[in-house]
């Protein structure tokens, strides 16, 4: 790689002259550091100082030009985890003339995407914080194509899932450590810095206890476009008519074990009359797991990062998440949120062990594997007695510095999260049966996106006054323009009639394109009439321009 990159730019002197004369040019999208992505020409990086450098010259551009607000707290987030103080990006500034006194720059010819991975050893983080955001950041900017190169600046080594990152472009991603081997001063000809957060659905609890993001902007469709592309690159084909239906138990082999896994598998096979197989990250290749999961009818697993693989389940499949004792399923919902994203079309079921007899705890393990022996006796006792881990934050590293890998540093949570569980089979089957009545099976691959109506058209009103106290308002309109191209099961219209100057209105749901209103209609009054179309009861269209009607 180093040879490939250090290879003299087709015209090194021209590139150097351009850098000295034009300096760095930056134009960003986004209004805040949390939603900003910047495109640079001639952004440089000193591998000795481990700092990015912006060179000022007569032609340099810096938009937004924030002044010192660039440090409050940062220009942008380098990872898809929002506003995490270990993930901030900034640069230092120099006049381009300083280049005379600096090491000879090495130019990076590839279009670069410069980012931080958040926690590359944890599969949930790999998909949610890195792979999906990288994929859709690349979709957003057309010069980030398959020939672009990823630069991971968080400082970690490759990690166990590096092969997945390699699928995103044809060029080998480079790590911060490797940049040193390329030169002392690197200059990226064209680069993008930062990641789109538009696909993320979960916040890990750094400022408030963990839970779904407040404003989720992704649907199952975009998730499935991503998984389709990953499967193509992994050479896993979607078997349209899979011959046999089966259940996958995704097991963990190091901790948070299912102690009676054999019994569980037999019980599932018997109850649902289906082949039941186990997979684990330790014993199967990633593509084998994807191949198996992408045709499964049901995925059963302990709570944990491996459950992010439900990304690959076919529509209509069921996800069963098992929670250890004292861990409230409602407080840890990354996989529930994923499975229930609109358009994901998965059934989600949570089961919790509520029987203390069925849990095996490890108080004497190291603290990061859930041990609590380092705590004082009273605290240990309180934790042992507690029947539910209280909601908690996922603490930041108090010293700052290197990114703290989750797991969250809460001893009670870790203690309970790393218990082993003997699954109470009848209780689990009962919970699954409440949702899965017949045989679970994946749905046929049909597009079932829901479409919204457009505005109703040509709305008109006509008033009829009868004497001094009675009046009627006849309102009519035309169907939304897109309706004539659609097959919609049920089309209704919602009409609001509001007396001018009043805060309240009368709502009506109507099935025809005209109606004469007489209730509460007064003569010599101005009414505002709002009309919108509704498909299938819940797909609400936009209101047409308000109609002014005088009686
Ligand atoms: N992991 C695994 N088997 C195990 C324990 C962990 O495959 O027995 C994987 C897990 O899926 C995740 C990573 O190792 O990708 C880190 O696991 P950890 O328990 O720290 O995180 P969690 O699963 O609770 O998010």
| Ligand 1 contacts CB of residue 252 (under 6 A) | yes
For tokens 């109850």, name the residue.
271
The full 3-state SS of 370-432, as one line of letters, equals CCCCCCCHHHHHHHHHCCCCCCCCCCCCCCCCCCCCCCCCCHHHHHHHCCEECCCHHHHHHHH
Look at ligand 1, atom 3, and give the residue with the nearest C-alpha: 252
Ligand 1, closest atom to CA 407? Answer: 20
| Ligand 1 contacts CB of residue 407 (under 6 A) | yes
What integer pLDDT is reported at residue 188 of this predicted model? Answer: 98
| Ligand 1 contacts CB of residue 253 (under 6 A) | yes
| Ligand 1 contacts CB of residue 123 (under 6 A) | yes
**Phi and psi of 356, rounded to 5°?**
-60, -30
Instruction: Report how far residue 16's alpha carbon sits from residue 191's, in angstroms, rounded to the nearest whole number.
Output: 17
DSSP letters of 8-71? --TTHHHHHHHHHHH--EEEEE-SSGGG-EEEEEEEEEETTTTEEEEEE-TT-EEES--GGGGG
What integer pLDDT is reported at residue 4 of this predicted model? Answer: 54
| Ligand 1 contacts CB of residue 306 (under 6 A) | yes
DSSP letters of 123-156? HHHIIIIIIHHHHHHHHHSTTSSTT-EEEE-S--
> What does DSSP assign to residue 313?
S
What integer pLDDT is reported at residue 400 of this predicted model? Answer: 45
Ligand 1, closest atom to CA 253? Answer: 8
Distance 309 CA to ligand 1 centre (A): 12
What integer pLDDT is reported at residue 449 of this predicted model? Answer: 64
Look at ligand 1, atom 1, and give the residue with the nearest C-alpha: 252
440-464 residue pLDDT tens: 777 765 555 689 999 999 999 999 9
What integer pLDDT is reported at residue 440 of this predicted model? Answer: 75
What integer pLDDT is reported at residue 450 of this predicted model? Answer: 83
**Phi and psi of 429, rounded to 5°?**
-60, -40
Residues 6+ apart with CB under 8 A from 537: 490, 492
What integer pLDDT is reported at residue 401 of this predicted model? Answer: 46
| Ligand 1 contacts CB of residue 124 (under 6 A) | yes
Closest among 263, 433, 424, 448 to 354, alpha carbons compared? 424
Instruction: Report how far residue 81's alpha carbon sits from residue 120's, in angstroms, rounded to the nearest whole number.
Output: 13
What integer pLDDT is reported at residue 442 of this predicted model? Answer: 75
Distance 160 CA to ligand 1 centre (A): 12
Residue 350 near residue 358, CB atoms below 8 Å: no
| Ligand 1 contacts CB of residue 324 (under 6 A) | no
**Test site for ligand 1: of 252, 331, 405, most ligand atoms within 8 A of the Cβ:** 252
| Ligand 1 contacts CB of residue 369 (under 6 A) | no
| Ligand 1 contacts CB of residue 278 (under 6 A) | no
**Test site for ligand 1: of 249, 280, 306, most ligand atoms within 8 A of the Cβ:** 306
Distance 413 CA to ligand 1 centre (A): 15
**Does an H or E element contain 336, and which?**
helix 334-339
Distance 303 CA to ligand 1 centre (A): 9
Look at ligand 1, atom 24, and give the residue with the nearest C-alpha: 304
| Ligand 1 contacts CB of residue 283 (under 6 A) | no
SS3 (DSSP) at 323: strand
What integer pLDDT is reported at residue 406 of this predicted model? Answer: 54
Distance 352 CA to ligand 1 centre (A): 19
Closest among 63, 49, 61, 58 to 24, alpha carbons compared? 61
Look at ligand 1, atom 17, and give the residue with the nearest C-alpha: 122
89-137 residue pLDDT tens: 999 999 999 999 999 999 999 999 999 999 999 999 999 999 999 999 9
Look at ligand 1, atom 7, and give the residue with the nearest C-alpha: 281
Positions in the chain whose pLDDT score sits under 70: 1-10, 240-242, 395-408, 444-449
HSE, CB side, 13 Å, CA atoms: give it for residue 201: 23
Residue 439 burial (CB count, 10 A): 11
Ligand 1, closest atom to CA 123? Answer: 15
Instruction: Report how far residue 64's alpha carbon sits from residue 35's, in angstroms, rounded to the nearest whole number.
Output: 13
Residues 6+ apart with CB under 8 A from 149: 108, 110, 111, 112, 113, 169, 171, 172, 173, 174
What integer pLDDT is reported at residue 510 of this predicted model? Answer: 98
**Test site for ligand 1: of 119, 120, 122, most ligand atoms within 8 A of the Cβ:** 122
**Test site for ligand 1: of 304, 369, 394, 407, most ligand atoms within 8 A of the Cβ:** 304
What integer pLDDT is reported at residue 291 of this predicted model? Answer: 97
| Ligand 1 contacts CB of residue 405 (under 6 A) | no
Look at ligand 1, atom 16, and give the residue with the nearest C-alpha: 122
What integer pLDDT is reported at residue 33 of this predicted model? Answer: 98
pTM of the model: 0.93
């Amino acid at each position: 790689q180093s040879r490939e990159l250090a290879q003299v730019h087709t015209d090194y002197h021209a590139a150097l002259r351009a850098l000295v004369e034009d300096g760095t040019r930056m134009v960003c999208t986004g209004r805040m550091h949390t939603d900003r992505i910047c495109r640079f020409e001639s952004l440089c990086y000193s591998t000795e100082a481990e700092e990015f450098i912006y060179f000022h010259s007569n032609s340099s551009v810096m938009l937004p030009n924030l002044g010192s607000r660039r440090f409050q707290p940062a220009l942008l987030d380098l990872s898809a985890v929002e506003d995490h103080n270990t993930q901030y990006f900034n640069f230092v500034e120099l006049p381009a003339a300083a280049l005379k006194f600096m090491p000879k720059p090495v130019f990076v010819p590839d279009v670069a995407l410069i980012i931080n991975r958040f926690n590359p050893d944890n599969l949930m983080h790999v998909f949610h914080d890195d792979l999906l955001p990288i994929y859709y950041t690349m979709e957003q900017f057309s010069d980030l194509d398959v020939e672009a190169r990823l630069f991971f600046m968080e400082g970690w080594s490759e990690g166990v899932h590096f092969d997945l990152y390699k699928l995103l472009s044809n060029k080998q991603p480079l790590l911060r450590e490797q940049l040193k081997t390329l030169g002392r001063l690197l200059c990226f000809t064209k680069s993008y810095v930062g990641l789109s957060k538009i696909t993320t659905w979960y916040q890990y609890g750094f400022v408030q206890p963990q839970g779904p993001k407040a404003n989720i902007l992704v649907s199952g469709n975009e998730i499935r476009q991503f998984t389709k592309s990953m499967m193509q690159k992994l050479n896993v084909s979607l078997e349209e008519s899979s011959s046999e239906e089966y259940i996958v138990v995704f097991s963990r082999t190091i901790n948070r074990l299912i102690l009676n896994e054999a019994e569980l598998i037999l019980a599932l096979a018997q109850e649902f009359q289906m082949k039941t197989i186990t997979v684990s990250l330790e014993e199967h290749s990633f593509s084998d797991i994807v191949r198996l999961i992408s045709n499964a009818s049901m995925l059963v697993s302990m709570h944990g990062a491996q459950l992010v693989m439900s990304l690959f389940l076919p529509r209509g499949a069921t996800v069963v998440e098992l929670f250890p004792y004292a861990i409230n399923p409602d407080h840890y919902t990354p996989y529930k949120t994923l499975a229930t994203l609109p358009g994901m079309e998965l059934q989600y079921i949570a089961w919790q062990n509520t029987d203390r007899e069925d849990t095996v705890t490890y108080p004497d393990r190291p603290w990061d594997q859930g041990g609590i022996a380092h705590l004082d006796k009273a605290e240990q006792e309180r934790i042992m007695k507690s029947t539910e881990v209280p909601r908690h934050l996922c603490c930041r590293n108090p010293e700052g510095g290197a990114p703290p890998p989750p797991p969250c540093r809460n001893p009670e949570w870790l203690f309970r999260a790393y218990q082993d569980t003997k699954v109470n089979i009848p209780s689990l089957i009962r919970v699954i049966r409440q949702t899965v009545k017949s045989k679970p099976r994946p749905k046929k691959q049909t597009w079932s996106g829901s479409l919204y109506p457009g505005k109703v058209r040509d709305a008109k009103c006509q008033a009829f006054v009868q004497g001094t106290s009675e009046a009627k308002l006849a309102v009519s309109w035309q169907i939304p323009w897109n309706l004539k191209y659609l097959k919609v099961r049920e089309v209704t219209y919602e009409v609001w009639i509001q007396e001018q100057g009043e805060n309240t209105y009368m709502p009506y749901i109507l099935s025809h394109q005209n109606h004469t209103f007489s209730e509460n209609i007064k003569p010599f009054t101005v009414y505002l009439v709002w009309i919108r179309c509704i498909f299938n009861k819940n797909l609400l269209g936009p209101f047409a321009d308000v109609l002014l009607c005088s009686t």
